[in-house]
Structure 1
Amino acid sequence: MPTTPDVTTAPPASGRDALSDSGLLDALQHQVALFARRAEQTRLGGVGQVRNSMDRAAYLLLNRLDKEGPMGVKALAAGMGIDSSTVTRQVAPLVDTGLVKRTSHPEDGRAVVLQLSPRGKARLEEVRSSRRQLMELLTEDWAEEERQTFCTLLTRFNEALSARMAAPAPPAQGTSPA
């Protein structure tokens, strides 16, 4: 299906008045929405045969197990900011396909620990490599400093989103706190 480019206004060149801040924030939210849609459409899966071959949930779970080592469902869920039942559902196909192993906790045999299998490690590296190639293609005309700045700002943005999600919800407008 053909797509047409999304048109947005460029952010104001300078000035810090309310109107320009509003325009800049409108442009920012629009670009974030476009990014979210395009990322979901393409799943930013990489290039070649590996493209779109691993969904976001699987990638994030495997990546966390690789970076932080074996852990229980509760620890994995807490680290990802999601519910344990969601992790359990998302891990099941990874166990079924041999990417993750369930083992007994070394100190409490009743507890289950999730661990990246050698097959999972190899698969994760294959997907990482493909995604790394995609990032290289998308930013091939960027200076290294631009890549670093974008990564730093995107990391900061994601951390702010995570903190916002973890914060208690503010009281609804028009109501007073009890």
Structure 2
Amino acid sequence: MTDDDRDRIERELTLLVRRTQRIHVRLPGVARHVERAAYAILGRLHDDGPMRLTALATLFGLDVSTVSRQVQSLQAEGLISRSADPGDRRAALIQITEHGTEVLRGMRAARRELLRDLTDSWPARDRERFADLLERFNEGVAEKLGGAPDSLPQKGLVRD
């Protein structure tokens, strides 16, 4: 790989991140758009089930106070709830609500529709190759950064 290739990849990744940060989906029944961090929390709770705040913070590699603010906001919106942890009544489990599940499914559908719109004109082989390369790139980033606490389930394991 040449330096020109690396420069081009770096530039395109910077543009991708900047542009994807502008994607906000507003859905019926939600007073505000759901932030990226909130989307990630909802997805994790949906896919992995109820968990303690400390476990959620560890998964995302964030301070408990940072995740706590997001959790409070999501709870106020009725997207998640807290209940006593049956294993330790002093601790609380955070879980996605039925409303939260509906919102998450709507967001996932909207995001996938956007991807469909962007890649429909591509040959199937290009879409598959892009997915393979993106997956490989993300795995490399995770290895280089010492793990991926926010990694998503592997192919076919995202529950909707």
Query: What are the superposed Cα offsets for residues 93-133 of structure 1, whole Å, 9 maximum, x if unpaired?
Result: 10111100111101101011110001100111111111111
- Summarize the Cα distance change of 1:67–1:107 in structure 2 as closer, same or farther, 3 Å threshold: same
| Deviation of 1:64 (Å) | 0.6
Matched, 1:59 2:39: yes
RMSD over aligned Cα, in angstroms?
Answer: 2.1
Matched, 1:34 2:15: yes
Q: Distance in 2 between matches of 1:82 and 1:31?
A: 27
| Deviation of 1:151 (Å) | 2.1
* SS of structure 1 residue aligned to 2:145: helix
Q: Which residue of 1 aligns with 2:51?
A: 71
- Summarize the Cα distance change of 1:67–1:106 in structure 2 as closer, same or farther, 3 Å threshold: same
TM-score w.r.t. length of structure 1: 0.73
Q: Which residue of 2 aligns with 1:134?
A: 114
Query: What are the superposed Cα offsets for residues 13-60 of structure 1, whole Å, 9 maximum, x if unpaired?
Result: xxx5xxxx111001000000111111112x2x46xx64x932111111
* SS of structure 2 residue aligned to 1:131: helix
Quote the sequence identity (%).
Answer: 36
Matches within 5 A, 1:153-168: 153-166=133-146
| Deviation of 1:81 (Å) | 2.3
**Runs in 1 of length 4+ with deviation above 4 angstroms?**
none
Q: Distance in 1 between matches of 2:85 and 2:42?
A: 19
* SS of structure 2 residue aligned to 1:60: helix
Query: What are the superposed Cα offsets for residues 49-106 of structure 1, whole Å, 9 maximum, x if unpaired?
Result: 64x9321111111001111000011111222222222111111110111100111101
- Summarize the Cα distance change of 1:156–1:77 in structure 2 as closer, same or farther, 3 Å threshold: farther
TM-score w.r.t. length of structure 2: 0.81
Q: How many residues align?
A: 144
